[in-house]
């Protein structure tokens, strides 16, 4: 967990002007995340393949919706998203202490999995629209001719990190759902 946070901080801290170092730090961060999520590979291959295809469909559809939305209505969801994240976070802590066989434990586990899928899908809408607006409104250095003001160039790697984490969270939730569905089937 510490390596994941440290590699993310390293990738975000490097300026985009030093392109090679920035891309190497981003590749390191992606590698660390891959190593953290590698235990998912112990699940059955068809479950991972199906979850990957479903994730691609969800992400493609929601991203297209966020990009082509006529208004910036998804940017207004920050308050409800924060509250939803708090609910899923508290349910995750509660599910850690309660047995999954109990009614309350099973309910909390369902909130974590299904509520998390809905929450991170909504975060994907919000983050995609936020990224597009940030990229469109970021001033280019040629617009500041004659000004002493120094502005950092737009950093697409830092801007997409939240979308990357949304996609990984959606994928993890789908693997949990599909892995649970396959484990509950009678033979």
Confidence of residue 143 (pLDDT cuts 50, 70, 90): low
pLDDT in the model for residue 186: 44
Q: Is the pLDDT of residue 151 over 50?
A: yes
Min mean pLDDT across 44-48, 69-73, 122-126 is at: 44-48
Structure tokens at 98: 């309660």
Structure tokens at 104: 């309350």
What does residue 112 show for φ and ψ, rounded to 5 degrees?
Answer: -65, -45
Residue spans per domain, the chain: 1-43, 45-140+151-184
What is the percentage of the chain residues whose pLDDT exceeds 70? Answer: 87
CA distance 32 to 127: 22
Q: Would you give the distance in Å from CA 27 to the centre of its chain?
A: 17
Confidence of residue 71 (pLDDT cuts 50, 70, 90): confident
pLDDT (tens digit per residue) in 95-137: 889 888 889 989 999 999 999 999 999 999 999 999 988 888 8
- Tally Cβ neighbours within 10 Å of residue 173: 22
Distances (CA, A) of 31 to 4, 38, 126: 9, 10, 26
CA distance 115 to 133: 27
Q: Is the pLDDT of residue 178 over 60?
A: yes
CA distance 181 to 114: 13
Please provide the average confidence, as pLDDT, over all residues in the chain.
86
Min mean pLDDT across 72-76, 112-116, 145-149 is at: 145-149
pLDDT in the model for residue 86: 96
pLDDT in the model for residue 171: 92
Mean pLDDT, residues 82-105: 91
pLDDT in the model for residue 142: 62
Q: Is the pLDDT of residue 59 over 80?
A: yes
Q: Would you give the distance in Å from CA 144 to the centre of its chain?
A: 34
pLDDT in the model for residue 187: 43
Q: Is the pLDDT of residue 183 over 80?
A: no
């Amino acid at each position: 967990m510490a390596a994941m946070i440290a590699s993310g901080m390293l990738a975000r801290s490097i300026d985009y002007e030093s392109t090679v170092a920035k891309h190497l730090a981003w590749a390191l961060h992606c590698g660390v995340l891959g190593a953290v999520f590698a235990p998912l590979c112990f699940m059955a291959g068809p479950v991972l393949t199906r979850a990957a295809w479903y994730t691609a469909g969800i992400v493609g559809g929601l991203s297209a919706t966020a990009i082509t939305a006529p208004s910036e209505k998804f940017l207004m969801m920050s308050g409800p998203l924060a509250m939803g994240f708090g609910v899923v976070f508290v349910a995750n802590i509660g599910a850690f202490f309660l047995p999954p066989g109990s009614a309350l434990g099973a309910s909390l586990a369902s909130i974590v999995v299904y509520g998390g899928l809905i929450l991170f899908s909504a975060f994907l809408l919000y983050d995609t629209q936020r990224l597009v607006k940030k990229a469109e409104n970021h001033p280019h250095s040629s617009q500041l001719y004659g000004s002493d003001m120094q502005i950092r160039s737009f950093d697409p790697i830092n801007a997409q990190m939240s979308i990357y984490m949304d996609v990984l969270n959606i994928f993890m939730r789908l693997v949990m759902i599909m892995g649970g569905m396959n484990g509950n089937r009678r033979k």
